[in-house]
Amino acid sequence: MRQIIFNEWKSITRDRTIFFVVVLFLLSLGFVTYSNILKNRVQIESHHVAHNHIRSQWDNMEPTNPHGAAHFGTFAFKPVSILSSIDEGINSVTGNVLQLEGHTQNELTYSEATQSLNISKFGKLKPSLLLQMVIPLFLIFISFNAVSKEKENGRIRILLQQGISLKQLVLSKSLAYWVVGLLLLSFTILVQFIFSAQNLDRDILLRLILLFSAYSIYYFIIVSLSVYLSSRLNNQTGALAGMVSVWIIWTILIPKLTGNFAEKVYPLPSRIDFVNAMREDRSKGIDGHSPSNEREEELKKTILTKYEVDSLSQLPINFDGLVMQADEEYGNMVWDKHFGNNYNILLEQKKLQQLSGFLNPFSALQNLSMGSSGSDLYHHLAFLEDVETYRRGFIKELNDKHAYGGSKTGEWDWKADQEFFRSIADYSYISPSFDTIYQSYFFDFLWLWLWIGLVLGLIFFTKISDITI
């Protein structure tokens, strides 16, 4: 087997076309990865500058009414993982800036897709596009005739007579071409490692290992299946057509069908219906018969009874602040109902899409690539939920200050001092750990290993009598 692998490598290196294409891929992967690393650095730095500027404005705010400050609000920036330079995932379409203010929960804005003029069907050039679609196709084109050419020139008879089995021949050639894919993959990871060394930690290293493992397994599946078809089919054209068909089914057809099926099984409400339902619950109450004016009257009675007074003017606190917070908490319930329902639908769609990895290893690869790069749905929802938790605490501090800070009901000109605003904690976010990600993508990794078992099973159970020599 070693000799066959060595001879195959010599054949590859002597082929000038393959050699120049490999060099071209190395240069392309190096350039694209490095340029995306630089882009990430610029984005991270711009977020850092903008965050410091906004916090400086907040800390240096002149004495202001807390409710006015709640409308002024603040901003949160979705963190950029250094590994998103390899796979941006959904980050380019979800936005990265979120305004935090009272009475409303805003959506992320300033997505790259809405601002870029260079929009194409496949999106911009990035390492994941090359690693997931182009390089597997290249591996197919250099391996589709690995055994069929030996059959056509009669050399396979000599090899078999020398004592090597058919399965050893197929496996040896598969390993030889697999190394080409590993070379391209390793170079990409090396570029990422070198130019991001100052930001590497245990979590990032584990994610890189997962990323490398996922792509390595997928490349082996592609190459070994290509070589296997080369051994089973009678001519090179049939082997090439068969593997290209597999590539099209895996990378284009099944993902599209799976996405459409998931949307049919777990449909999201239309934007118009969603907005109308939110507005309806806000005005009339979640139960349909508790409008805001009635909720305010009930709160008024409760507070007057609690403080044993007859009118709002007799209260030692500011009732307006209590009303603001009560409205905020009610709005949170509406948000939890509707946005929470949408999040659950998205998660169900994601799980269904992950199950398709049983039929399509490309789907499992995409999931693992985005997950390890921190650019998947799970990371996105984790950020939204975390920042919403902060927003609620942030607004509550302002409303409580308005209610219990020393003003009386109706005193809208009352102002909190600068020291109070500086005391409010700044927002910081810690991304989910590698352990969390691995648990979320356990089945994707399992599907890849099952596919390896399937392909190896095909190879090891193939007999000479099964092929035409």
Give the span between the Cα atoms of 34 and 425, in whole angstroms: 36
Residues linked to residue 97 through DSSP beta bridges, in sequence order: 77, 109
Query: Given this model, what pLDDT does residue 116 score?
Result: 53
Where are the domains positioned within the chain?
1-469
The 8-class DSSP code of residue 45 comes to H
Is 80 exceeded by the pLDDT of residue 329? yes
Give the span between the Cα atoms of 22 and 258, in whole angstroms: 33
Residues near 445 by Cβ (< 8 Å), separated by ≥ 6? 210, 213, 214, 364, 368, 438
Find tokens 């694209």 and name the residue: 32
Would you say the pTM of this structure is higher than 0.75?
A: yes
Task: Please give the average per-residue pLDDT across 445-461, as a whole number.
Answer: 92
Burial class, 86, CB count within 10 angstroms (exposed 0-12 / middle 13-18 / buried 19+): buried
Query: Given this model, what pLDDT does residue 163 score?
Result: 67
Give the span between the Cα atoms of 64 and 160, in whole angstroms: 87
Residue 468 Cα distances to 157, 159, 400, 465, angstroms: 11, 15, 82, 7
Q: Per-residue pLDDT tens for 307-316?
A: 999 888 888 9
Higher pLDDT, 325 or 236: 325
Is 80 exceeded by the pLDDT of residue 468? no
